[in-house]
Structure 1
Amino acid sequence: MSGSHVSESRKQECKSASTDVVFLLDSSGSVGSENFKKILNFTKAIVSRFTVGPHNTLVGIETFASTVHHQFALDANKNMATLLTAVDNVPYQTGGTNIEAALKYVNDYSFKPGGRRNAEKILILITDGQTYSPNGTAIQAKSLRKTNIKVFCIGIGHSINSKELQHISSGADHTFLIEDFNSLTTAIKVMHSVICKANSRITTAKQSRTEERKRNVTAKATTKLKTTMQVSKNIKAPVYLRDVIHGFEYLEVTVLSIVSVIAMGAFGCCCRFCFIFAKRKETEEEEKPKRKPPCKRPKGWPSY
């Protein structure tokens, strides 16, 4: 298979992948309304390269300045037409550059309403400045990295902090530095390509983990079956407590039976001995000579 065919296959796979994408757009005062429209056009150009649908890519948008403004959730627009219209209607709400609050909001809410459990999670942060709370932003970025969300950062102009953006993103290759707002269009193709590669790596890693878990489960089941078979060959049937108790019961009955026989035999012997003794006594009494009665004195004899 040629390289071009592989590339086309990967593009098609990327377009149809199940992905939840949240755009976190800077609408601070330094951006301005005109440049904010350029950010929205860039957002539309990116999402147009995906297949939008309930089983493919879903897109949500949050904007931030001094505070965070929720625009629409991931499941609000399930086809390309309504999504592009919704992007066009995102308002410009000026203020400061509170990246800390924006990241915390994404952590807590953005991927939950309308998010899909098994979909890949991608966050795209676009800003022209740097936070006025570096420590808080670092904490939120660390918390965000613990999740399975892939973070891409696009920094525009010379007021950004590239190290801060690299710290927020999922790596140096996920951070893009753009000269000015007019140069955003030049990053569309590269940005889409990098997102597709990251998406592909995530999917491949998940498939590998799933296959590894299946292999482990199969191996454990096979080992358990072999162990059980080996035990059944080498070990005799277990002796249960109830069998021991039944054995004692049988022994008790046997002993009682023997004692009863002996007792009855002894009683019989005693009875026979008593009968013989009585019979012999009776015989002796019969054989003993009877004593003659004394002679009676004639009448008239004197008595002494």
Structure 2
Amino acid sequence: MKLVLNSFLLLLLQEFSTAVKDDVRSSCRTAPNDLVFILDGSFSVGPENFEIVKNWIVNISSSFEIGTTFTQVGVIQYSDDPLLEIPLDKYRSNEDLMKAMEAILYRGGNTRTGKAITFGVNYVFATSTRAANAVTKVAVVLTDGKSQDDVKDSAEEARKKKIILFAIGVGQEIEDAELQAIANKPSSTYVFHVEDYSGITKIRETIKQKLCEETVCPTRIPVAARDEKGFDILVGLDIRKKASKIEGSYHGKKAYRVASQNDLTEKTSDIFPDGLPPSYVFVTTLRFKRPVTKEKWDLWRILALDGTIQTAVTLNGEDYTVIFHTTHKTNDTQSVTFMSPLIKALFDENWHLLRVLVTERDATLYLDDKLIETRQLEPVLGIFISGRTQIGKYFGKEATVPFEVQKLRIYCDPEQNQRETACEIPAVVSITLHRSFIVTLTSCKHNPYLLYYFPIKVH
């Protein structure tokens, strides 16, 4: 009996070890993409500024794992003619790539940006060993002067080849119209303009985030007049087939009632195949009633193969708090608890909009457009994606929590936090006739029942 028990325990241990070993950690750092920097090396740049540019691309590239299955980086320097400084397939390690970048020599000459973009399309991206695969292709064009050739046709040709173009203009000589002709749409995402070369260091983290969004967040969510990169978790979990459709926060708005017999679970690799970006906004519109208002449960969670929490938002009705969990560089998981008295309103059985703005430094909780609290985070790692993603589960259990949900999304652009409003919840919005009346009305114009539901106060 003892031998059988020992053999059984050994088998369990082997299975556990295998499960952990076979899990895959994914993030922007490990996502596969072909990234090409197209750098202005004309006379107007100068050797000192060109050194700043070299340090800039070294810093950005260090955010990615360099290798045949991860990120491959190429560099073009252009003036009268483009020069391929670093081919996409040449370097297989971060150390070798950084040394090659630091060794690039400044050339000087005129500014022919269009010619450089065409060169990148035909002789860099097209020759990548991964060109036929579905890797993300991104070009970052940096220039400090008006091009002496046409950029529009070159940029359009690049887009036809599914190359994503960022345009960064430096100084006063560059024209915004030219940057917009180079870059993808919308310009607010793909165009940047700084006053001088020292200014590119100020947008370094923003560029890292944007590059990450391109590789990790390929899908788009229709939001008002624009599409946002992100993940519609309800769609990913196929909620239409698993829960009952109900009327949401206002007449005609669709929502879903999740019952205890519904299991909203899917493979994480099917929903977040390349992990999560370093910064994002978690947004949900939900309602839950007694006795759930007194329970502790995970509204959303990502679990590794061994059950370790990778990311989660926990609602605790025992003490009216919200807990955010994420990864930790040394301790697997870290958690921060939002404890403001204002959170109690979330548990009043009415519809509410809950947002968590996550950055590399902190997490901030918003409830019905009100900033509630910010908590600091320790450095994080990418998430393990071989496990499961779930919504509506009691904390530490597999049992489903009955609740109602209208929206549950992750927006990859942290700026969406400023655009997201509680307009879909009439009970928490009141239009006031003052100087911001038109702004308030415009932000809620997608709600056709706005004027029917919202009281108007005249002062």
Scaled by the length of structure 1, the TM-score of the pair is: 0.61
Rounded to whole Å, the distance in 2 between the matches of 1:141 and 1:80 is 29
Are 2:41 and 2:77, in contact at CA under 8 Å, matched by a contact in 1? yes
Question: 1:204: how far off?
Answer: 7.6
Matched, 1:24 2:38: yes
Rounded to whole Å, the distance in 2 between the matches of 1:132 and 1:109 is 21
Aligned length: 198
User: 1:181 — aligned with what?
Assistant: 197
Matched, 1:74 2:93: no
| SS of alignment partner, residue 34 of structure 1 | helix
User: 1:102 — aligned with what?
Assistant: 116
Amino acid at match of 1:70: L
Are 1:20 and 1:115, in contact at CA under 8 Å, matched by a contact in 2? no
Rounded to whole Å, the distance in 1 between the matches of 2:71 and 2:136 is 9
Question: 1:201: how far off?
Answer: 3.0
Matched, 1:157 2:135: no
User: 1:265 — aligned with what?
Assistant: none
Matched, 1:196 2:196: no
* Greater helix fraction, Structure 1 or Structure 2: 1
Shift in CA distance, 175/95, structure 1 to aligned 2, threshold 3 Å: same
Matched, 1:147 2:170: no
Matched, 1:53 2:88: no
Shift in CA distance, 184/109, structure 1 to aligned 2, threshold 3 Å: same
Question: 1:12: how far off?
Answer: 5.0
Q: Map Cα deviations across residues 163-193 of structure 1 (whole Å, 9 max, x no partner).
A: 1111111120111111111111111111111
Question: 1:202: how far off?
Answer: 2.5
| SS of alignment partner, residue 217 of structure 2 | helix
User: 2:184 — aligned with what?
Assistant: 170
Which 4+ runs in 1 deviate beyond 4 A? none
Amino acid at match of 2:72: L
Q: 1:129 aligns with which of 145, 157, 161?
A: 145
Identity, % of aligned positions: 29
| SS of alignment partner, residue 215 of structure 2 | helix
Amino acid at match of 1:163: A
Q: 1:42 aligns with which of 29, 53, 56?
A: 56
Are 1:125 and 1:151, in contact at CA under 8 Å, matched by a contact in 2? yes
Q: 1:92 aligns with which of 102, 106, 111?
A: 106
Rounded to whole Å, the distance in 1 between the matches of 2:198 and 2:45 is 12
Rounded to whole Å, the distance in 2 between the matches of 1:186 and 1:21 is 21
Give the number of the structure whose alpha-carbon radius of gyration is greater: 1
Unaligned runs of 5+ in 2: 1-24, 222-230, 232-459
Amino acid at match of 2:194: I
Rounded to whole Å, the distance in 2 between the matches of 1:159 and 1:12 is 41
Rounded to whole Å, the distance in 2 between the matches of 1:125 and 1:85 is 21
Amino acid at match of 2:110: G
Q: Map Cα deviations across residues 13-64 of structure 1 (whole Å, 9 max, x no partner).
A: 2111001101100000000011001000000010011111111001011110
Amino acid at match of 1:56: F
Question: 1:203: how far off?
Answer: 6.5
Are 1:19 and 1:120, in contact at CA under 8 Å, matched by a contact in 2? yes
Question: 1:125: how far off?
Answer: 0.5
| SS of alignment partner, residue 15 of structure 1 | coil
Unaligned runs of 5+ in 1: 1-10, 209-304
Question: 1:199: how far off?
Answer: 2.1
Scaled by the length of structure 2, the TM-score of the pair is: 0.41
Q: Map Cα deviations across residues 121-170 of structure 1 (whole Å, 9 max, x no partner).
A: 0101111111122xx32211221121211111111111111111111111
Q: 1:114 aligns with which of 122, 125, 128?
A: 128
Rounded to whole Å, the distance in 1 between the matches of 2:47 and 2:152 is 28
Rounded to whole Å, the distance in 1 between the matches of 2:163 and 2:71 is 15
Rounded to whole Å, the distance in 2 between the matches of 1:64 and 1:47 is 20
The alignment's C-alpha RMSD in Å is 2.5
| SS of alignment partner, residue 17 of structure 1 | coil
| SS of alignment partner, residue 151 of structure 1 | strand
Rounded to whole Å, the distance in 1 between the matches of 2:98 and 2:51 is 13
Rounded to whole Å, the distance in 1 between the matches of 2:71 and 2:164 is 15
